[in-house]
Amino acid sequence: MITKKKEVKKEEIFLKTIFMGTPEFAIPSLKSSFQKNTDLKINFFTKEDKRNARGNKIIYSPVKQFGLDNDIEVIQPKKNER
């Protein structure tokens, strides 16, 4: 059986990465991965935003703030209330 290899254009090659996390200590590794590999497609999953006790302002997690600053899609699943 003979199979033909499909030619793939360089523009079509990319890696897709899904990151799940919230804490600030994740930011250095995310920055490194994001800056070194421009073909990397990243989606972040992080916990819901919190409301501040003073002023009732919304506080973003460090991972979400990094995603917003770098135009990366951030997905925040709703908390499952029982």
Which regions of the chain are under pLDDT 50?
none
User: What's the pLDDT score for residue 31?
Assistant: 81
Q: Give, as one character, the DSSP assignment of residue 17.
A: E
Distance CA 76, CA 44 (A): 8
The reported pTM is 0.64
Distance CA 71, CA 10 (A): 23
User: What's the pLDDT score for residue 15?
Assistant: 64
Distance CA 65, CA 80 (A): 23
User: What's the pLDDT score for residue 73?
Assistant: 83
Helix axes 27-36, 62-69, angle to 10 degrees: 20
